[in-house]
C-alpha cells in the first residue's frame, strides 16, 4: 500500500471514530465538515442536507457564521446534481463546468475552483444530503480523493442518522418526562382539590348535622321534651320509625334529627313524598329503572333506595301509597333488595326507613287500605308530633327561634315582637302548625321593619284573636259566616287569587275552598266579582 493510501486510511478511521462519538446532530455536522476538510486536505467544505418536503438541498453552515444558508433544488448546482444522480464526482475548475452555479460564490464571497462532491447515502439507499469539499490545497481532487470522500460521506450519513434517531429518542423521552411531570402536577392538584372538596363536604355535613340535631327541635312542652329524648334513643339504632303528626308539625325535621344523630349520618338522607308522585312513577322513583323500561325512560336511573343506601330513606305521606305499591315496598324491606323497573336482577340495599304520615294508619289498616304486614314493619317505633295548638307554651320560643333564624339568614338586624302581637300569635289556632307559624313570622318580619305589632300579622291570625273584632250582636251562625267570608277573602287577596295557595293557608282542601268561594260569591283569579 502506498504511503498516501495508508495516511488516507488512518485519517479516515480517526475521523470515523470521532464522528461515532458525537450524539448531538448540530455538533456532529460541524465535526463532519472539519474532519472532511482535514482528511481531504481541502480549504473548505459544505454539508447539504436534503429537505424532502421541498425537494431541496440546504447548506449547514454552522461552521462559518458569515455565510448565509444556500438552497439548491435537486438537480441544480454541482451538489444538486450529485444528489440527483447519487454518484460522487470531482471538478477541476468549476467555472468551466456548466452545472456550477456562480451565484453561490457571489453570495458567499468565496472563490471556488476545485470541488469534490459525494452523496450522503444511508445503507438502505436514501440520500440524506451531499458533502462537498472545495479548493484542494495542492493540485486537484483525483479519483482516490473521490473514493475517500465517498467512503467518508457513507459513514457520515450513518452517523447523522444515528444522531438524529438518538436526538429524537432523547426528545421523545424528554417529552415523556415533561408529560409525566405535568401529569403528576395535575394529579397532585386534583388530589388537593378533592381533599378540599371532601373537607368542605364533611364540614357542611357536620353543619347540616348540627342544624338537625335533636336540640334544634324547639319545644319545652312535656310531649316535645319526651320526643327529643326518644329521638336520641332511636338515633342509636337502625329501627324503622313511624312519625305521625299533622302537616307542618316537624315530621321531616324529626326524621333528619334521627338520621344525623345516627351512625348513618355520613350517608345520604333522601326524602320522598309518596303522595305527590303518581303510582307508576313512584315505583321507578324508589327502585330506579332501566333505559327503555317505559316511555320516557331514556336512560338508566338509580332509585332512591340505592341513593340512600348506607343512609336513610324518609317516606313522607306513606299512608297515601296504593296497595300495589305497599306490596312492592314491603318486599323490598323484607328482602333488603330492590329491582329497578325493567331490570332482571335484584340489588342489595342497606337503608334505614323512616316513614311519616298525617293519616291514622290504624284506622286505614282496619279499613283494609293499609297493609297490616307493612304497618308492623314501619311501625317498630312510633313518634307522635303534637299539633302546635296542643302546645301553645312553645309558640313564644318558636317565634324567638325563627326571628334568630331570619336575622342570621338575611344578615339584617333581628326583629322583636310586641306583647300584643305575641298574645295574638299564642292565641291563634295554627292549622298549618309550625310551618304556618314560621311563614307568618317571615312575612311579619318583612312588613314590620324592627318591631312586629299586631298590624303586621295576617288577618286570620288576628281574626281568631277575638278581642278586637268580636261581633257585638247577631246569631252565632251569622258571625261564623262573616268570619269565614272575611278570612277567605283575605287569604285570596294575599295569594293573589291563587285558590290552591289560599286553601293551604286556610288549612282546607282545595275543592272545599272552591265550594266556599262559590257560596260567598267571592272572585277568583281572573274573574269578576
Q: Which residues bind ligand ADP (CB under 6 A)?
A: 217-219, 245, 247-253, 401, 434-435, 438
Only one of the segments 17-25, 225-233, 250-258, 483-491 lies at the binding site for Mg ion (rule: CB under 5 A); that segment is 250-258
Please say which residue, 252 or 436, places its beta carbon nearer to Mg ion.
Answer: 252
- Beta pairing class for 416-417 and 451-452: parallel
Q: Does position 285 bind Mg ion by CB under 5 A?
A: no
Count interface residues toward Mg ion (CB under 5 A): 1
Tell me the window of 152-160, 252-260, 371-379, 450-458 that interacts with Mg ion (CB under 5 A): 252-260
Stretch near Mg ion under the rule CB under 5 A, chosen from 251-259, 283-291, 367-375, 468-476: 251-259
Q: H or E segment at 3? A: helix 3-20
**Which is nearer to Mg ion, 265 or 355 (by Cβ)?**
355
Binding part of the chain for Mg ion, among 155-163, 246-254, 388-396, 521-529 by CB under 5 A, reads: 246-254
We find the least distance from the C-beta atom of residue 250 to ligand ADP, in angstroms, to be 3
The C-alpha atoms of residue 55 and residue 75 are separated, in whole angstroms, by 10
Q: Which does 219 bind (CB under 5 to 8 A by kind): Mg ion, ligand ADP, none?
A: ligand ADP
Question: In angstroms, rounded to a whole number, what is the distance separating the alpha carbons of residues 128 and 133?
Answer: 17
Least gap, CB of 177 to ligand ADP (angstroms): 57
Inter-CA distances, 36 with 64, 157, 301, Å: 15, 13, 75
Q: Which does 249 bind (CB under 5 to 8 A by kind): ligand ADP, Mg ion, none?
A: ligand ADP
Question: Buried b vs exposed e over 459-495: b needs ≥16 C-beta within 10 Å?
Answer: bbbbbbbeeeeeeeeeeeeeeeeeeebebbbbbbebb
Per DSSP, helices labelled H in 109-263 are 143-211, 222-235, 251-261
Which one, 243 or 462, has the nearer CB to Mg ion? 243
Q: Which of 449, 440, 451, 452 is nearest to 412 (CA)?
A: 449
272 contact choice in ligand ADP, Mg ion, none (CB below 5 to 8 Å, kind-dependent) = none
For ligand ADP, the closer of residues 284 and 356 by Cβ is 356
Query: Min. distance of Cβ 339 from ligand ADP in angstroms?
Result: 29
267 binds, among ligand ADP, Mg ion, none (CB under 5 to 8 A by kind): none
| 119 contact choice in Mg ion, ligand ADP, none (CB below 5 to 8 Å, kind-dependent) | none
Residue 245 or 288 having the CB closest to ligand ADP: 245
Picking from 408, 491, 406, 498, the residue whose alpha carbon sits closest to that of residue 443 is 406
Q: Does 246 bind Mg ion (CB under 5 A)?
A: no
The C-alpha atoms of residue 31 and residue 39 are separated, in whole angstroms, by 12
Q: Looking at beta carbons only, is 74 or 385 nearer to Mg ion? A: 385
How many Cβ atoms are within 10 Å of 55's Cβ, its own excluded? 11
Residue 252 interacts with Mg ion (CB under 5 A)?
yes
Nearest distance in Å: CB 227, ligand ADP: 9
Q: How far apart are CA 529 and CA 519, in angstroms?
A: 13
Binding partner selected for residue 245 from ligand ADP, Mg ion, none, CB under the kind-specific 5 to 8 Å limit: ligand ADP
Query: How near is the Cβ of 459 to ligand ADP at its closest, in Å?
Result: 22
With a CB cutoff of 8 Å and minimum separation 6, the contacts of 115 are 78, 90, 91, 94, 100, 132, 133, 134, 141
Q: Tell me which of Mg ion, ligand ADP, none is bound by residue 218, counting a contact when its beta carbon lies within the kind-specific cut-off of 5 to 8 angstroms.
A: ligand ADP
Residues 71 and 48: their CA atoms lie apart, in Å, by 9
Cα four-point dihedral sign 58, 61, 62, 67? negative
- Does 145 interact with Mg ion (rule: CB under 5 A)? no
Residues 6 or more apart whose CB falls under 8 angstroms from that of 107 comprise: 68, 70
Residue 465's binding partner, choosing from Mg ion, ligand ADP, none, with beta-carbon cut-off 5 to 8 A by kind? none
In angstroms, how far is the first alpha carbon of the chain from the final one?
Answer: 130
Nearest residue (CB) to Mg ion, 243 versus 333: 243
- Nearest distance from C-beta of residue 219 to Mg ion, angstroms: 17
Taking the complex as a whole, the smallest distance from the CB of residue 492 to ligand ADP amounts, in Å, to 24
- Label the pairing between strands 352-357 and 241-244: parallel
Q: Residue 343: which of 309, 374, 305 has the closest Cα?
A: 305
Pick one of Mg ion, ligand ADP, none as the site partner of residue 458 (Cβ within 5 to 8 A by kind).
Answer: none
- 399 vs 490 by CB, closer to ligand ADP: 399
Q: Cα–Cα distance between 516 and 145 in angstroms, integer?
A: 121
| Three-state secondary structure of 20-88 | HCCCCHHHHHHHHHHHHHHHCCEEEEEEEEEECCCCEEEEECCCCCCCCCCEEECCCHHHHHHHHHCCC
* Residue in the shown chain whose Cβ atom is closest to ligand ADP: 250
Q: Least distance (Å) from ligand ADP to the CB of residue 249?
A: 5
Residues in the site for Mg ion, rule: CB under 5 A? Answer: 252
Amino acid at each position: 500500500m502506498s504511503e498516501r493510501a495508508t495516511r488516507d486510511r488512518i485519517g479516515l478511521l480517526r475521523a470515523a471514530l470521532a464522528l461515532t462519538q458525537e450524539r448531538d446532530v448540530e455538533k456532529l455536522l460541524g465535526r463532519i465538515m472539519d474532519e472532511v476538510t482535514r482528511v481531504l486536505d481541502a480549504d473548505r467544505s459544505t454539508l447539504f442536507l436534503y429537505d424532502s418536503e421541498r425537494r431541496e438541498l440546504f447548506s449547514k453552515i454552522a461552521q462559518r457564521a458569515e455565510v448565509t444558508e444556500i438552497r439548491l433544488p435537486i438537480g441544480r448546482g454541482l451538489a444538486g446534481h450529485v444528489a440527483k444522480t447519487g454518484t460522487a464526482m470531482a471538478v477541476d475548475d468549476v467555472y468551466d463546468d456548466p452545472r456550477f452555479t456562480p451565484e453561490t460564490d457571489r453570495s458567499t464571497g468565496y472563490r471556488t475552483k476545485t470541488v469534490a462532491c459525494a452523496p450522503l447515502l444511508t445503507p438502505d439507499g436514501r440520500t440524506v444530503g451531499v458533502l462537498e469539499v472545495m479548493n484542494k490545497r495542492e493540485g486537484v481532487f483525483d479519483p482516490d480523493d473521490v473514493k475517500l470522500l465517498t467512503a467518508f460521506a457513507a459513514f457520515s450519513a450513518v452517523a447523522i442518522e444515528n444522531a438524529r434517531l438518538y436526538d429524537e429518542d432523547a426528545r421523545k423521552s424528554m417529552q415523556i418526562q415533561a408529560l409525566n411531570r405535568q401529569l403528576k402536577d395535575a394529579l397532585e392538584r386534583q388530589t388537593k382539590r378533592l381533599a378540599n372538596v371532601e373537607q368542605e363536604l364533611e364540614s357542611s355535613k357536620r353543619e347540616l348535622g348540627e342544624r338537625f340535631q335533636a336540640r334544634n327541635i324547639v319545644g319545652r312542652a312535656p310531649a316535645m321534651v319526651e320526643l327529643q329524648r326518644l329521638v336520641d334513643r332511636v338515633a342509636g339504632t337502625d329501627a324503622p320509625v313511624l312519625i305521625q303528626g299533622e302537616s307542618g308539625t316537624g315530621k321531616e325535621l324529626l326524621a333528619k334529627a334521627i338520621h344525623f344523630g345516627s351512625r348513618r349520618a355520613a350517608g345520604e338522607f333522601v326524602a320522598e313524598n309518596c303522595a305527590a308522585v303518581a303510582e307508576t312513577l313512584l315505583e321507578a322513583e324508589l327502585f330506579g329503572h332501566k333505559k327503555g323500561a317505559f316511555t320516557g325512560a331514556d336512560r338508566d336511573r338509580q332509585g332512591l333506595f340505592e341513593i340512600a343506601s348506607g343512609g336513610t330513606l324518609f317516606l313522607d305521606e306513606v299512608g297515601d301509597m296504593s296497595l300495589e305499591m305497599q306490596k312492592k315496598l314491603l318486599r323490598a324491606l323484607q328482602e333488603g333488595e330492590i329491582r329497578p323497573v325493567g331490570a332482571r336482577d335484584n340489588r342489595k340495599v342497606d337503608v334505614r326507613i323512616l316513614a311519616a304520615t298525617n293519616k291514622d294508619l290504624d284506622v286505614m289498616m282496619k279499613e283494609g287500605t293499609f297493609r297490616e304486614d307493612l304497618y308492623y314493619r314501619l311501625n317498630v317505633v312510633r313518634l307522635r308530633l303534637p299539633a302546635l295548638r296542643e302546645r301553645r307554651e312553645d309558640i313564644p320560643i318558636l317565634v324567638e327561634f325563627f326571628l334568630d333564624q331570619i336575622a342570621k339568614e338575611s344578615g339584617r338586624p333581628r326583629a322583636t315582637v310586641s306583647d300584643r302581637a305575641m298574645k295574638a300569635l299564642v292565641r291563634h289556632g295554627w292549622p298549618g302548625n309550625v310551618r304556618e307559624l314560621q311563614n307568618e313570622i317571615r312575612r311579619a318580619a318583612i312588613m314590620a321593619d324592627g318591631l312586629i305589632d299586631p298590624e303586621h300579622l295576617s288577618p286570620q291570625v288576628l281574626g281568631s284573636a277575638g278581642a278586637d273584632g268580636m261581633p257585638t250582636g247577631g246569631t252565632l251562625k251569622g258571625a261564623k259566616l262573616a268570619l269565614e267570608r272575611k278570612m277567605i277573602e283575605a287569604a285570596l287577596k294575599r295569594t293573589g287569587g291563587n285558590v290552591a295557595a289560599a286553601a293551604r293557608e286556610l288549612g282546607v282542601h282545595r275543592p272545599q275552598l272552591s265550594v266556599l268561594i262559590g257560596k260567598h260569591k267571592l272572585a277568583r283569579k281572573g274573574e269578576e266579582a
